[in-house]
A and B are shown apart, each in its own frame.
Chain A
Amino acid sequence: MTGHPLSFRKRGRLSFRAKRGISFILALSCLLTLAAVAQNSSQLRFCLRTEPKTFDPLLVDDESSLAIRYLTGGVLTRVDRHTQELTPELAESWKVTPDGKQINFKLRHDVHFSDGTAFSADDVAFTMKRLMDPTLHSPVGDEFRAAGNAVITKVIAPDQVSITFPGPIVGIDRIFDELVIVSAHSLKKEAAVLGPFMVAEYKAGSSVLLERNPNYWKKDSQGRRLPYLDSIHLDIQSNRDVEMLRFKRGELDLINVIDTDYFDRLASSSPQLVHDAGPSLDSDFLWFNQVAAASIPEYKRAWFRSANFRRAVSEALNREDIARIVYNGHAQPAVGPVSPANRFWFNSTLKPEPHNPQASLDRLKADGFHMQNGTLVDKSGNPVEFSIVTNAGSKPRERMGVLIQEDLGKIGMKVNLVTLDFPSLIERISQKFNYEAALLGFHNVSLDPTDQMNIWMSSAENHAWNPQQKSPETAWEAEIDKLMRAQAETSDAKKRKQSFDRVQEIVYEQAPFIYLVNLNALSAVSTSVAGANPGILFPQTFWNAERLTLTGTATAKR
């Protein structure tokens, strides 16, 4: 029996519609599934303030490249950013010889680069060879070359390697925290990584996409391979207002370092998002020009070279007010070259110089200074007036300068605050020495005092108050030289600490740098990021990136 042609046609048309409908539903469900997968794929987003200059881990010299190196590179040892202790990474264990010249590593087994190439001692040897290549000009290599270029790397077994330096290297095991191991055999070269993430995409001026390294060797306590995140999207964004707005809108998950103004603004509306990890290693300080050849009047040079004058200035400054007013309480009065945040090296017997204008005036009297109609004059009758240069555009420094101006005004000193663009400032303080006093800061990244040799040695270029001395011009500088050398020549931690404690005492007594405040480490992390534990060392918020997770709401938002 055949049906009516019309009914057949009708049935046929219905069948076509049904097929179309089924296809549509299938396509829709596929899209929804894909969307769901996309939503579940967790991507952490934050900003880099500048364009990364390189992706080669051995050439890293800027903060953005450093962040990428930290997230992608595998190292033999790692300084735990929270405990400040050295922890094993690609090296299971290591041993330093008593003379501090050699370190022997025992490497982990079953570790592979992101492209599947196996990791072995050959890779360590290859990395060392490349690092020490003088044509590479690796900034990372500077620390490894401290005792000379003749570094010998010997592969003892596929899982054992020995590295011998021409002379003792202090903190020999800690410097490997900086050295990312590159593959000797991979065709991908530096793109093959041992860290938790790998660079998947780079859009110049726009963003860097890091994807999960499927071969990353670390596992959690349940045996699940880390990292938990699928990717990290790094937007290149120098404008902090835009970064802040995007964070508030939920488009970013964290701000690694946040200024005090932004911090307080965010804290007032969403206190759960901001983190003040306490004093960081960074400090602000003031110093006087003591260079013999500087074009400043002789009587002023005499003031600046007097420890009494410098200490008097130090005592007249109200550090508590600087911390409270300039940094809204997110800073601590500083003691010296080492922040209390540096738990091992800080000399805890020293306390910040108390604000005491009367003691300051008494100290100045010892040098023949006296008050004359409300103005402080020296023994020859010259009124005490000097300029302080600082970098223009830095609100905290400008504010600090105005507070210093008023504090010193109270003891009769007239201070002219001059803000200069950074290149002019650097030229004045490091080449022409055409300045009287300067107000600047240190952005410290290392805990070890050896990394401060370039500041404290009287022959050093960064010995800011009187650099590149042929021989120490003062007895206390000679003593600092001796102590700095002593701490660098022994691997005995106790002896090193004793030497550097004394350096801190001398700096406190002589005040070549008048330390003002240690800035707190401020950051902002979205509540959708689980596992974040912001610290004081770089990278403050994502030092444990492999263990960070995002909650469902964060992934669904995007």
Chain B
Amino acid sequence: MKAARYLACVVVLIVCGLSLAANWLAPAGYAKQFREVPDSPPSRAHLLGTDELGRDRFARTLYGTRISLLLAPAAALVSTALAALIGGIAGYLGGMWLKMARAFTDLFLSLPWLFLLITVRALLPLNVSPLVSVLITFLVLGLLGWAASARVLSTSADALRSSDFVLQARASGLDGPRLFLVHVLPNLKPILYAQFWISIPVFILSEANLGVLGLGVAEPLPSWGSLLRELEGLISFREEPWRLVPLLLLIVVMTSFQLLLSNEEVTA
């Protein structure tokens, strides 16, 4: 297990390093169109071939990795923090607060998000740069993706509230925020970690789907989501296996992240 964690650490470091070195490894950049060779197979000039518009897939994968690896975890952090705040506190307080929080969470989960996101997009200005658009996209994902995690956390916090060690802490005179921060929150850590790691691939895929609503990463900026969208309609993987690289990269990186967690955190 230690070896696997070591390997995972190496993989994550290599991927991060490669994405940070994109400017040197793929100097042509992610937007340059080689119009004479659209949709070409891998070659010395284009290690992963080119996309439908003749853009270098290798460059786009590196830059897309940089964006997704930075912003998807950031969005996951926002959503997990919100979940901890709403779910954790409600579970810790219990009673009426817990019922209210659960009702609010259920209401939030049952909202027609598709239509709300369309409304959100309609409210945004049109003339925003691709970089701003990608920040908005992941911020929206982070702000909206907390409800399911909050439900899990509220249940766990509720269970902790009536646990022996919390009762003992109360009996010792500890109460209020200090009890929550010192005894409850540390015990929610494994669940928070799990929710955080689970959210990352979900947000990456959500970003790809949001592209259909016009909320995704704006062209020509790449992301794992937009690279995965290229797999739409691909019938034979055997003919163009190099197109699977972004998907494989996503799987490898997510698996590595999971392996980096301790056993306790994974099973939480």
- Bound: A283/B118 CA distance, A: 28
Instruction: Report the nearest A residue to B118, measured CB to CB.
Output: A421
- Bound: A416/B52 CA distance, A: 20
- Bound: A451/B65 CA distance, A: 50
- Bound: A440/B233 CA distance, A: 23
**A-contacting residues, B222-242, CB 8 Å:** 232-233, 235
Residues of A within 8 A of B38 (CB): 325
B126 close to A402 (CB less than 8 A): no
- Bound: A515/B126 CA distance, A: 23
Verify if B41 is at the interface (C-beta below 8 Å from A).
no
**B-contacting residues, A134-189, CB 8 Å:** none
**A-contacting residues, B31-54, CB 8 Å:** 31, 33, 35, 38, 52-54
Stretch at the interface among A219-227, A382-390, A464-472, A540-548: A382-390
Min CB–CB distance B226 → chain A (angstroms): 10
Min CB–CB distance A262 → chain B (angstroms): 8
A417 close to B219 (CB less than 8 A): yes
B54 close to A421 (CB less than 8 A): no
Residues of A within 8 A of B118 (CB): 421, 423-424
Verify if B172 is at the interface (C-beta below 8 Å from A).
no
Contact with A along B104-136 (1 / 0, CB 8 A): 000000000000001001100011111000000
B35 close to A436 (CB less than 8 A): no
Stretch at the interface among B20-28, B68-76, B91-99, B209-217: B209-217
Verify if A420 is at the interface (C-beta below 8 Å from B).
yes
- Bound: A405/B220 CA distance, A: 9
A402 close to B121 (CB less than 8 A): no
Residues of B within 8 A of A423 (CB): 118
- Bound: A393/B128 CA distance, A: 20
Instruction: Report the nearest B residue to A419, measured CB to CB.
Output: B214
- Bound: A427/B197 CA distance, A: 39
B121 close to A416 (CB less than 8 A): no
Min CB–CB distance A323 → chain B (angstroms): 12
Partner of B127, one of A241, A393, A436: A436
- Bound: A436/B218 CA distance, A: 17
- Bound: A419/B212 CA distance, A: 8
- Bound: A406/B34 CA distance, A: 11
Contact with B along A414-441 (1 / 0, CB 8 A): 0011111101100100000011100000
How many A residues face the partner with a CB closer than 8 A?
A: 31
Partner of B218, one of A403, A417, A435: A417
B52 close to A325 (CB less than 8 A): yes
A261 close to B233 (CB less than 8 A): yes
Instruction: Report the nearest A residue to B38, measured CB to CB.
Output: A325
Residues of B within 8 A of A421 (CB): 118, 121, 212-214
Residues of B within 8 A of A479 (CB): none
Min CB–CB distance B210 → chain A (angstroms): 9
- Bound: A420/B125 CA distance, A: 12
Instruction: Report the nearest A residue to B55, measured CB to CB.
Output: A402
A405-B214 contact given A325-B35, A416-B127, A424-B118, CB 8 Å threshold = no
- Bound: A420/B130 CA distance, A: 15
A406-B126 contact given A325-B54, A418-B218, CB 8 Å threshold = no
B53 close to A399 (CB less than 8 A): yes
How many B residues face the partner with a CB closer than 8 A?
A: 26
- Bound: A424/B38 CA distance, A: 32
Instruction: Report the nearest A residue to B127, measured CB to CB.
Output: A387
Cross-chain pair count, CB within 8 angstroms: 68
Verify if A401 is at the interface (C-beta below 8 Å from B).
yes
Verify if A129 is at the interface (C-beta below 8 Å from B).
no
B219 close to A405 (CB less than 8 A): yes
Min CB–CB distance A325 → chain B (angstroms): 5
A418 close to B126 (CB less than 8 A): yes
A392 close to B214 (CB less than 8 A): yes
- Bound: A424/B124 CA distance, A: 12
A392 close to B211 (CB less than 8 A): yes
Verify if A19 is at the interface (C-beta below 8 Å from B).
no
- Bound: A395/B226 CA distance, A: 12
B212 close to A406 (CB less than 8 A): no
**B-contacting residues, A310-353, CB 8 Å:** 321, 325
Verify if A282 is at the interface (C-beta below 8 Å from B).
no
Residues of B within 8 A of A395 (CB): 232
A435 close to B126 (CB less than 8 A): yes
**B-contacting residues, A289-324, CB 8 Å:** 321
Residues of A within 8 A of B218 (CB): 416-418
A420-B214 contact given A402-B53, A402-B219, A405-B220, CB 8 Å threshold = yes
A392 close to B213 (CB less than 8 A): yes
- Bound: A386/B128 CA distance, A: 10
B233 close to A416 (CB less than 8 A): no
B212 close to A392 (CB less than 8 A): yes
A402 close to B220 (CB less than 8 A): yes
B33, B214, B220, B235 pick with most chain A CB within 10 angstroms: B214
**B-contacting residues, A367-415, CB 8 Å:** 385-387, 389, 392-393, 395, 398-399, 401-403, 405-406
Residues of A within 8 A of B53 (CB): 325, 399, 402-403
B219 close to A398 (CB less than 8 A): yes
A424 close to B121 (CB less than 8 A): yes
- Bound: A294/B54 CA distance, A: 36
Verify if A10 is at the interface (C-beta below 8 Å from B).
no
Residues of A within 8 A of B121 (CB): 420-421, 424
**B-contacting residues, A50-65, CB 8 Å:** none
Residues of A within 8 A of B212 (CB): 392-393, 421
Instruction: Report the nearest A residue to B114, measured CB to CB.
Output: A421
Verify if A17 is at the interface (C-beta below 8 Å from B).
no
Residues of A within 8 A of B213 (CB): 392, 421
B38, B122, B216 pick with most chain A CB within 10 angstroms: B122
Residues of B within 8 A of A401 (CB): 219
Verify if A95 is at the interface (C-beta below 8 Å from B).
no
Verify if A265 is at the interface (C-beta below 8 Å from B).
yes
Residues of B within 8 A of A389 (CB): 126
11 A–B contacts from the bound complex (CB under 8 Å): A241-B235, A325-B52, A386-B127, A395-B232, A401-B219, A403-B53, A416-B129, A418-B214, A418-B218, A420-B121, A435-B126
Top-7 shortest CB links A-B: A387-B126, A419-B214, A392-B214, A420-B214, A387-B127, A402-B219, A417-B219
Identify 11 new A-B residue pairs, CB closer than 8 A, beyond the known A418-B218, A421-B121. A325-B35, A325-B52, A393-B212, A401-B219, A403-B53, A405-B219, A418-B126, A419-B216, A420-B214, A421-B214, A424-B118
